Amino acid sequence: MNARRPRNRSCESHPSHASHNSHSSRSPERVLPPRGDYKTLLSFQKAEVVYDITFRFAHKFLSRGDRTVDQMIQSARSGKKNILEGSKAGLTSKEMEIKLTNVARASLEELLDDYRDFLRARDLPIWDKDSKEAAYIRQLGRKKPQTYEDYREFVETRPPEVVANIAICLTHQTNYLIDQQLLRLERDFVQQGGLRERMTRVRLQHRNKET
Ranges in the chain, pLDDT < 50? 1-33, 199, 201-202
- The gap from C-alpha 113 to its chain's centroid, in whole angstroms, comes to 17
Over the chain, what is the mean pLDDT? Answer: 82
Domains contained in the chain, number: 1
- Which residue segment(s) compose the domain that 205 sits in? 38-210
Query: First and final CA of the chain: distance in angstroms?
Result: 67
Confidence (pLDDT) at 6: 40
Q: In whole angstroms, how large is the CA radius of gyration of the chain?
A: 21
Confidence (pLDDT) at 211: 65
- Tens of pLDDT, residues 40-99: 899 999 999 999 999 999 999 999 999 999 999 999 999 999 999 998 887 778 889 999
Please give the helix or strand (H or E) that residue 88 lies within, else none.
helix 67-89
In a domain, 33, yes or no: no
In a domain, 125, yes or no: yes
Q: How many CA atoms lie within 13 A of 160 on its CB side?
A: 19
E-strand ranges in the chain read: none
* Among 100, 94, 73, 88, residue whose Cα is nearest residue 178: 100
* Among 87, 111, 110, residue whose Cα is nearest residue 100: 87
In a domain, 1, yes or no: no
Query: Rounded to 10 degrees, what is the CA torsion of 41, 47, 50, 51?
Result: -120
pTM of the model: 0.74
In a domain, 6, yes or no: no
In a domain, 20, yes or no: no
Spatial distance between the Cα atoms of 153 and 95, rounded to a whole number of angstroms: 40
Spatial distance between the Cα atoms of 100 and 83, rounded to a whole number of angstroms: 7
Residues in the chain: 211
